[in-house]
Chain A
Amino acid sequence: MAQISADEVRHLADLARIDLSDAELEHLAPQLSVILDAVASISGVAGDDVPPTSHPLPLTNVFREDVVTPGLSPEDALAGAPDAQEQRFAVPRILGDEQ
């Protein structure tokens, strides 16, 4: 049976940039184990000769003409931002203390 520990969930949540509380970790880990156990049945179903499908349509790159088209104004683009200054998204500091 596929098992996933609270520590593993903490690591994955860290990769996904979600702060989970200890209570959430204890709650999610067993549920994720049950789900993983169910989906693990898939291993070995398809052999090496089966190509993967990533998309239902056989599309390669689609290009448009390189012409100017109207876009959002800076005001519209920033209207939903939690914070903005001088036509830019204002964000908290992005460097650590030692940087």
Chain B
Amino acid sequence: MSDLTRRTAAELADALADGSTTSVELTQAHLDRIGAVDGALHAFLHVDAEGALAAARASDERRAAGSPASALDGVPIAVKDVLATKGLPTTCGSRILEGWVPPYDATVVARLRAAGLPILGKTNMDEFAMGSSTEHSAYGPTHNPWDHDRIPGGSGGGSAAAVAAFEAPLAVGTDTGGSIRQPGAVTGTVGIKPTYGAVSRYGLVALANSLDQVGPVTRTVLDAALLQQVIGGHDPLDSTSTTEVLADPVEAARAGATGDLSGLRVGVVAELGGEGYQAGVRQRFDEGVELLRSAGAEVVEVSCPSFVHALAAYYLILPAEASSNLARFDAMRYGIRVMPEQESPSAEDVMRATRDAGFGDEVKRRIILGTYALSSGYYDAYYGQAQKVRTLISRDFAAAFEQVDVLVSPTAPTTAFKLGEKLDDPLAMYLNDLATIPANLAGVPGISVPAGLAPEDGLPVGFQVLAPALADDRCYRVGAALEALLQQQWGGPQTPPE
């Protein structure tokens, strides 16, 4: 393996700056790595070697002229296939968008291009980001680099696997109920869901608008902070993007890496842990908490009683929003059109046939569930109640953040499970999101950092840090501190077997 693919984005940026490598050289190294390992992993749905190398050449020219476009100019990146990329196929892992090439860039993609990051390709995902295993992709699952018989998490399993397997130093993901953080946890990578509104959703194919958030997928906390600086900030094209300026994430990550958390108050969420959580996950989480204490943090237990209802609220609100959003796939304006076997079918007949052929099982389940939750007679009992529970969860966060600066929990209740294990048991699949969902319902930021390997199966465990809305810097600070302290113990990052 090329040494270049083992380096972090921050190290690559330094190497580009001191002239010891070029963007073309390191983009080619990552394309070679993709060529070598992606046949077995299937992290990518589409690789754009030509486009990436053209962007790399342009980056090298800028640098030679002494005017790099950003700190990450020339560092390649992978993009989840749910973000529109002009001229590059965007399928959302769905048959219904097979062959669609967007006529415009998502704001996040436009910012990556403007900052000079060559786009290696589009990564695999559960269809329309519905799932926790990437098995619901219409184009076949992604495999976990730690064990190819296991899932890489989801929905952003492709982005996490690509970063874990050194196919890309950086990736962009989206997180609606944990789709950045849970894949991070089970692949031993870093994933952060920023505060709702901290990154533009323009050009993101919506799953649930009030929950979706774009964020960085990386191998280190510092790299995530560097990427957030590129993609974050207000966008006039997204009316829900915040105009507040967040504290510098890079500064926060560097401060955290000193390993000093004196004066920081940490709350362990009583409801996110214990029963239902794998023993090895609990063990690594508890050790992480002890490390934070040793770094000077004051640790207390905090109760958020409404969190036990978060999963139920989420699986009503999400399907309700998704069933409305996916109405746009009508076989008229984009995507495939399937003609039913009948004479002179109407537009509605074509729509029904196309949506049956184009959507997979999980998408159909959630559209029907959402349609049910929004039906007259059920609306108050289901959707209306879920929205009230959302209020209770936000109140729990507010009360907790009066006592502590950050909340911590395991990111996912288990390590990576076997491919196929939960595919036909939707409820068991949903339970993976237990600890990640509350942050989406309340709009607060959350990061998952690698916490070591569970002793019983040798698979990665994730440690989640949650902070108040707009205080994403606390996630970076605490995440970087934990990362630094753990790597001191391990003697370096833990990486999947070759």
Interface residues of A (CB under 8 A from B): 4, 8-9, 12-13, 15-21, 24, 27-28, 31-32, 34-36, 38-46, 50-57, 59, 62, 64, 72, 76-77, 79-83, 89, 91-96
Bound complex: CA A71 to CA B364 (Å): 33
Cβ-neighbour of A56 out of B309, B323, B372, B443 (below 8 A): B443
Q: A42-B312, A59-B240 are in contact. Are A16 and B196 (CB under 8 A)?
A: no
Q: Contact: A16 with B353, CB < 8 Å? A: no
Q: How far is the CA of A92 from the CA of B331 in the complex (A)?
A: 10
Partner of B210, one of A18, A40, A42, A55: A55
Interface string of B381-394 (1 = CB under 8 A from A): 11011111111101
B103 at the interface (CB under 8 A from A): yes
Question: Can you name the residue of chain A whose Cβ is closest to the Cβ of B195?
Answer: A56
**B70 within 8 A of partner (CB):** no
Contact (Cβ within 8 A) A35 B236: no
- Provide the B445-486 mask, 1 if CB < 8 A to any CB of A, else 0: 000000000000000000000000100000000000000000
CB atoms of B101 and A50 under 8 A apart: no
Q: Which residues of B contact A57 (CB under 8 A)?
A: 196-197, 240, 242, 443
Kindly list chain B residues whose C-beta atoms are within 8 Å of the C-beta of A45: 306, 309, 385, 388-389, 392
The smallest beta-carbon distance between A14 and chain B, in angstroms, is 8
Q: Which of B108-116, B149-157, B246-254, B338-346 contacts A (4 or more CB under 8 A)?
A: B338-346
Check B245 for interface membership: any CB of A closer than 8 A.
no
Partner of B368, one of A28, A46, A76: A28
In the bound assembly, the distance between CA atoms of A89 and B316 in angstroms comes to: 34
Complex Cα gap A95–B346 (Å)? 7
Q: B473 → chain A, closest Cβ, in Å?
A: 19
Task: Give 6 A-B pairs besides A52-B384, A55-B240 with Cβ atoms closer than 8 angstroms.
Answer: A4-B372, A12-B368, A38-B315, A50-B392, A80-B101, A82-B334
Interface size class of B (residues with CB under 8 A): 35 or more
**Which A residues are CB-close (under 8 A) to B104?**
72, 76
Contact A34 B332 (CB under 8 A): no
With A28-B368, A54-B210, A55-B210 already in contact, the answer to whether A46 and B349 are too (CB < 8 A) is: no
Most buried by B among A24, A50, A51, A77: A50
Q: How far is the CA of A20 from the CA of B355 in the complex (A)?
A: 9
A15-B371 CB under 8 A given contacts A41-B312, A43-B381, A76-B103: yes
The 4 A-B residue pairs whose C-beta atoms are closest, nearest first, are A56-B443, A52-B387, A82-B337, A46-B388
- Of B330, B335, B364, which one neighbours A80 at CB under 8 angstroms? B335
Inter-chain contacts of B336 with A (CB < 8 A): 82
Q: Are A17 and B351 in contact (CB under 8 A)?
A: yes
Contact flag A34-B427 (CB < 8 Å), given A16-B371, A80-B103: yes
Interface residues of B in 41-84 (CB under 8 A from A): none
- Residues of B close to A77: CB separation below 8 A: 103
A91 CB to nearest B CB, Å? 5
Residues of chain B with a CB closer than 8 A to A76's CB: 103-104
Most buried by A among B242, B350, B359: B350
Task: Report if B7 contacts A (CB, 8 A).
Answer: no
Chain B residues within an 8 Å CB radius of A39: 312, 315-316, 382, 386
Alpha-carbon distance A57/B440, docked complex (angstroms): 12
Q: B2 within 8 Å of A by Cβ? A: no
Measured CB to CB, the closest approach of chain A to B467, in angstroms, equals 14
Give chain B's interface residues, CB within 8 Å of chain A.
100-104, 196-197, 210, 236, 239-240, 242, 306, 309, 311-313, 315-316, 323, 327, 330-337, 340, 344-353, 355-356, 359, 361, 364-365, 367-369, 371-372, 375, 381-382, 384-392, 394, 426-427, 430, 441-443, 469
Q: Are A94 and B352 in contact (CB under 8 A)?
A: no
Task: Tell me whether B346 and A28 are in contact (CB under 8 A).
Answer: no
Looking at the complex, which one of A32, A46, A91 makes contact with B391 (CB distance below 8 Å)? A46
Query: Contact between A51 and B391 (Cβ–Cβ < 8 Å)?
Result: yes
Subset of 9 A-B contacts with CB under 8 Å: A34-B426, A46-B392, A55-B240, A56-B196, A62-B239, A76-B103, A77-B103, A83-B337, A94-B347
Are A93 and B346 interface neighbours, CB within 8 A? Answer: yes
With both beta carbons as reference points, the residue of chain B lying nearest to A20 in the complex is identified as B356
- Verify A56–B337 contact, CB threshold 8 A: no
Contact A18 B346 (CB under 8 A): no
- In the bound complex, how far is the Cα of B347 from the Cα of A82, in angstroms? 12
Q: Is the CB of A53 within 8 A of B387?
A: yes
Contact A50 B388 (CB under 8 A): yes
Alpha-carbon separation in the docked complex, A77 to B333 (Å):
9
Distance in Å: Cβ of A75 to nearest Cβ of chain B: 9
Tell whether, in the assembled complex, residue A79 and residue B312 are in contact, meaning their CB atoms are under 8 Å apart. Answer: no
Pairwise interchain contact A31-B352, C-beta atoms closer than 8 A:
no
Chain A residue with Cβ nearest B239 = A62
Q: Are A82 and B331 within 8 A (Cβ)?
A: yes
A residues within 8 A CB of B340?
A: 19
Q: Verify A89–B333 contact, CB threshold 8 A.
A: yes
Give A46 to B315 CA distance when docked, in angstroms: 17
- Contact pick for B334, options A44, A51, A80, A96, CB 8 Å: A80
Cα-based distance from A11 to B332 in the complex (angstroms): 23
- Are B364 and A18 interface neighbours, CB within 8 A? yes
Pair A42/B385 contact, Cβ less than 8 Å = yes
Contact between chains at B242 and A31 (CB < 8 Å): no
Q: Please judge, given known A-B contacts A18-B356, A64-B236, whether A94 and B394 are in contact too, CB under 8 Å.
A: no
Check if B347 sits within 8 Å of A42, measured CB to CB: no
Residue of A nearest to B329 (CB): A17
Kindly name the residue among A15, A35, A41, A62 whose own CB sees the greatest number of chain B CB atoms within 10 A.
A35
